[in-house]
Structure 1
Amino acid sequence: MNLARNSTITTWRNALFVVFMINGLSFSSWLARVPAIRDGLGISTSEVAALLFTGAIGAVTGLIFSSHVIAWLGQRRTILFFGLLGLVGLAAIGTSAQWLSSYPLALVAIIIAGAGNGIADVAMNVEGSSVEREISRSIMPWFHAFWSFGTVAGAAISAAMSFLGIGIGWHTLVTALALTPVLIFVCRFIPKSSSATQQDETKTTTTFAERLGVWKEPRTLAIGLIALGMAFAEGSANDWLALAMVDGRDFSNGQGALWFGFFTLGMLSGRIGGVYALDRFGRVRVLQYSAGLAFVGLALVILIAHPVVSAAGAVLWGLGSSLGFPVGMSAAADNPRGGAARVSAVATVAYGAFLIGPPLIGYVGAQIGILGALWIVVALISLSFFAAPAAKPPLTTAVNA
C-alpha cells in the first residue's frame, strides 16, 4: 500500500517537474528575443517598455484573482487551461512581430502570454507546496530548477535561432505547437484535488473571506517582500539583460541572448543545490547569502565591460536570485490551513515586481541607459536581505529551517 502511494507521489512530483520546465521554456522563448521583437515592430526602447508594462497590467490583474481561480477550477485544470493560454500567446507574439509587424497585436499577445503563464505559475507553486507537505521536505527549489532548466533551454534555442537567422515567428509558433501535447499529457498525472488525499483536501480548503484575510497577515506580507526583491532581480534580467548587452556593450543579438543564458545557468545551478544548502544552513542564512551574491554579480554586470568578468557577473546574478522566490513559496505554505491562499498572495506580490518592475527599468533606461537603470534592482535586492528573517518557520511547524 505504501509502495503504491509512494509511486503515485513520485509520478505526481515528476509530472510537476515537466510542467515547470514547459512554463520556463515558453517564458524565455520570447523574452530572450526581445531585440528581435523590437526590430520586427520597429519600436524604440521606451516603446518596448510600454509594451511590457501594459502586458504586465493584464497579467497582474489575473494574478490578483489567481487564488479564487484556483479555488473555482482546481489546481490541475488551472495549470492546464492557463498553460495552454500562455502557449497561444507565445505563438501570437512571434506572429505579430515578424509577419504582421503590428504593435497592437503584439500588445494583446503579450497580455495573453503573461496572464496565462502567470496564473498557471501560481497554481504550479500551490501544487508544489502540496507535494512538499506529502513528503515532509522543502523541495520547492527543485521545482524551480526545472523552470530554470526550461529557461536555459529556451534561451539556448533562442540564441541558436538568432544566430541562424530564423525569424521569431517560426520560432515561437513551432515551440508552442511542440509543447502543447506535452502539457496535456503530463497534466493527466496531477491529481484532480489540491493534494493526493481527500483528508488533506479538506484540511486546506478555505472560504472566500479566508483567502482575502491572508493579505492582512504581517508574516505573509514580509515573505512577499522577500520574494518581491528577488523576483524583481530575476524579472529585470529576463526582460532587459539581453537588450542591455546589445545596447550598452555593443553586442550582437545572439551574444545578448547568450548572456541571458549565463544568467539562467546561474539560476539553474542555485536551485539544484539550494535544497541541500537549506538543509544545512536554514532559510534565513541562505536567503541573506543569496542576496549578497546577487548584489555582487549585478554590480559586475553594470560596472565592468570585460566580457569574462561580465559573464561571471551574470552567472552570480542568477545564482543569487535563484532561491528567493521558491523559498518564499515554501515559507508561505508552512501552515497547511490556508497555505494555498498564502502561496497565491506571495506569488502575486512577487509577480507584481516580476512583471511591472522590468518596464520601470525600461522607462528609466530610456533616459540614462539600461545598465545604469539596473541600480534600481540593487536597491530591491537589499530589501530582500533585510526581510529574510520573516522566512524562519514558526516554532509549531515541522519544516526545515
Structure 2
Amino acid sequence: MTLPDSSAMTAPRFLTPRTATVAMFFANGFGIGNWAVSLPLIKDAAGLDAARFSLVLLGLAVGAVVSMPLSGLLLPRLGGSGRATGAAAIAFSLLLALPTLLASLPTLVANTLVLGAASGLMDVSMNAHASTIERRHGRPIMSSFHAAFSAGGLVGALFGGAYLGVGLPSPLLLPVAAIVCLFLVLATKRHLGEGEPPREADAARPRFRINRAILGLGLLAFVFMVVEGAMADWSAVFLTTIHEASPAEAAMGFAAFSITMLAGRLTGDWTLAVFGTVKVLVIGSLAVAGGLALAAASPDALAAGIGFALVGIGAANMVPVAFSLAGKAGPAPEIGISAVATLGYGGFLAGPPMIGWIAAHFSLPDAFWLLAGAAALMGVANLAARTRA
C-alpha cells in the first residue's frame, strides 16, 4: 500500500490524498459543466446541423465507453490509481481546450473521441483512488467525492454562463475553462499518492470482470444513471410540452433536481454512516420512484418541479454507493469500478434515446412511469437482498 508515499499514515496526513482527490472530482465536473454550456457554440462555429452535431456527441460517448473497461488494465501500468488519476486529469484538461477552436467535423469528432477516452479513464481512476482512500478511512466517504463533482458541474455551468454573459470571446470559453482545470490539477496531483498497486498474483489476469455482485451493482448504476440522463435531457422538455412552461420556468426543473442532488451528496457520508447502505439504497430508490410518479401525474409545473427535486434527493447517493461497493468487490478497486462505470455510463447514454422512443410511441409521462417502476424494483431488490442476508 503506497497511499500516501510515507510508510506511516496518520490522520492529518491522510487528509491530503482525500483533499487532492476531491479536487480532481471538482475539476472533472467543472470541465463538463463548461462543456455543456459550450455545446451550442461548437455547433454554430462548425456550421453543423443536428444530425452531424450528433456525431460530435457520439464521439465523446464512444471514447468514454471504450476507455472505461480498458482502465482496469491501464491503471496498474500507469503506476496505480493516484498516478493514473493525475495523468488522465492532465490529458482531460488539455483536450478540453480544443473543441471551440475547431471548425471541421472530422477534427471535432477526433477530438471528442480522445477527450471522451481521457474523461473515461479519469472517471474510473479517480473513483478507484477514492475507493482506496475510503477503505483506509474506515467509514463511508464516497458521496463527498461525488458531491465535489456535482459542485464542479454547477460552478462550471455558472462560470460558463457568466463568461458568455459579459461578452467575452466565445471561442475562448473552453480554453479558459481548461486553464482553470489544469491549474487545479497541477496544484493538487502531487498530493494524491500512488494508490494501491495490484498484487503480483493478479497482474496477468483480465482486468475487466463481471461476477454476480458486479452485475448487480452495474444494474443499479445503469438504472439510476438512466434517471440522471432523463433529468438532464428531458426534465425541461417535460415542463414545456406537458405543462406549457416558459423556457426560464422549464430550466427550474433541472435546477431543482441538481440542487437537491448536490445537497444529498454533501450529506451522503453522514446519512450512510447513520442509516447504513441498505436503508439508503431502499429509501433512495423509493424516493426516486415517488418523485418520478409525482412528475408523471403532476397537474402543473410546480408539482412536477417538486417531483424532480425528490428525484434528486433519492438518486444522490445511488451511484456513489454502487462505485464504493464495486471498489470492494474485486482484488483491486479498478476492476469492479471499471465494469460498473461502463454499465452505468451505458445507462446514461442509452437512457435519453430510450425515453425519446417511448415518448414518441406513447407519451413522455408514460416514460417517466416506466422509470418510476424500474426505480421501485431496485428498492424491492435491495430490500430482498437484505432479507436473504
TM-score range, shorter chain: 0.7 to 0.9
Are the structure 2 counterparts of residues 354 and 57 from structure 1 closer, same or farther at C-alpha, using a change threshold of 3 Å?
A: same
Deviation of 1:177 after TM superposition, in Å, equals 1.4
Which letter does structure 2 place at the counterpart of 1:127? H
Question: What's the counterpart of residue 209 of structure 1?
Answer: 205
Question: What's the counterpart of residue 65 of structure 2?
Answer: 60
- Structure 1 unaligned segments of length 5 or more: list them: 196-200, 396-401
| Structure 1 range deviating more: 331-340 or 141-150 | 331-340
Q: Name the CA distance, whole Å, in 2 between partners of 1:317 and 1:297.
A: 5
Deviation of 1:90 after TM superposition, in Å, equals 2.8
Question: What's the counterpart of residue 378 of structure 2?
Answer: 384
Deviation of 1:10 after TM superposition, in Å, equals 0.6
- 1:223-255 CA deviation, whole Å, 9 max, x = no partner? 111111112222333455456667775644x76
Contact conserved, 2:73 with 2:206, CA < 8 A, in 1?
Answer: no
Question: What's the counterpart of residue 399 of structure 1?
Answer: none
Which letter does structure 2 place at the counterpart of 1:75? S
Are the structure 2 counterparts of residues 169 and 2 from structure 1 closer, same or farther at C-alpha, using a change threshold of 3 Å?
A: same
Map residues 350-389 of structure 1 onto 2, 5 A cutoff: 350-361=344-355, 377-378=371-372, 380-388=374-382
SS at match of 1:157: helix
Contact conserved, 2:142 with 2:320, CA < 8 A, in 1?
Answer: yes
Q: Name the CA distance, whole Å, in 2 between partners of 1:317 and 1:281.
A: 19
SS at match of 2:64: helix
Question: What's the counterpart of residue 86 of structure 1?
Answer: 92
Equivalent position to 2:281, from 283, 287, 290: 287
Question: What's the counterpart of residue 3 of structure 2?
Answer: none
Give me the identity figure in percent.
28
| TM-score where L is the length of structure 1 | 0.80
Contact conserved, 1:287 with 1:388, CA < 8 A, in 2?
Answer: yes
Contact conserved, 1:232 with 1:380, CA < 8 A, in 2?
Answer: no
Which letter does structure 2 place at the counterpart of 1:338? A
Provide the aligned length of Structure 1 versus Structure 2: 382
Are the structure 2 counterparts of residues 258 and 22 from structure 1 closer, same or farther at C-alpha, using a change threshold of 3 Å?
A: farther
Contact conserved, 2:52 with 2:105, CA < 8 A, in 1?
Answer: no
| Structure 1 range deviating more: 358-367 or 124-133 | 358-367
Q: Name the CA distance, whole Å, in 1 between partners of 2:165 and 2:252.
A: 10
2:260 corresponds to 1:266: yes
Q: Name the CA distance, whole Å, in 2 between partners of 1:55 and 1:376.
A: 28
Are the structure 2 counterparts of residues 115 and 47 from structure 1 closer, same or farther at C-alpha, using a change threshold of 3 Å?
A: same
Question: What's the counterpart of residue 185 of structure 1?
Answer: 187
Q: Name the CA distance, whole Å, in 1 between partners of 2:384 and 2:324.
A: 12
Equivalent position to 1:135, from 98, 113, 137: 137
Question: What's the counterpart of residue 29 of structure 2?
Answer: 24
- 1:29-62 CA deviation, whole Å, 9 max, x = no partner? 2225545555555666666555433431221011
2:134 corresponds to 1:123: no
Question: What's the counterpart of residue 109 of structure 2?
Answer: 107
- Structure 2 unaligned segments of length 5 or more: list them: 1-5
Q: Name the CA distance, whole Å, in 2 between partners of 1:299 and 1:51.
A: 34
- The root-mean-square deviation of aligned C-alpha atoms, in Å, is 3.6
Which letter does structure 2 place at the counterpart of 1:58? G
2:224 corresponds to 1:230: yes
Question: What's the counterpart of residue 95 of structure 1?
Answer: 101
Map residues 335-354 of structure 1 onto 2, 5 A cutoff: 337-354=331-348
| TM-score where L is the length of structure 2 | 0.83
Are the structure 2 counterparts of residues 178 and 122 from structure 1 closer, same or farther at C-alpha, using a change threshold of 3 Å?
A: same
Deviation of 1:372 after TM superposition, in Å, equals 6.7
Q: Name the CA distance, whole Å, in 1 between partners of 2:119 and 2:268.
A: 24
Contact conserved, 1:28 with 1:154, CA < 8 A, in 2?
Answer: yes
Q: Name the CA distance, whole Å, in 2 between partners of 1:244 and 1:165.
A: 31
Question: What's the counterpart of residue 70 of structure 1?
Answer: 75
- 1:126-181 CA deviation, whole Å, 9 max, x = no partner? 10111111111111011111111111212323444565566753322211112112
Deviation of 1:111 after TM superposition, in Å, equals 2.6
Deviation of 1:182 after TM superposition, in Å, equals 1.3
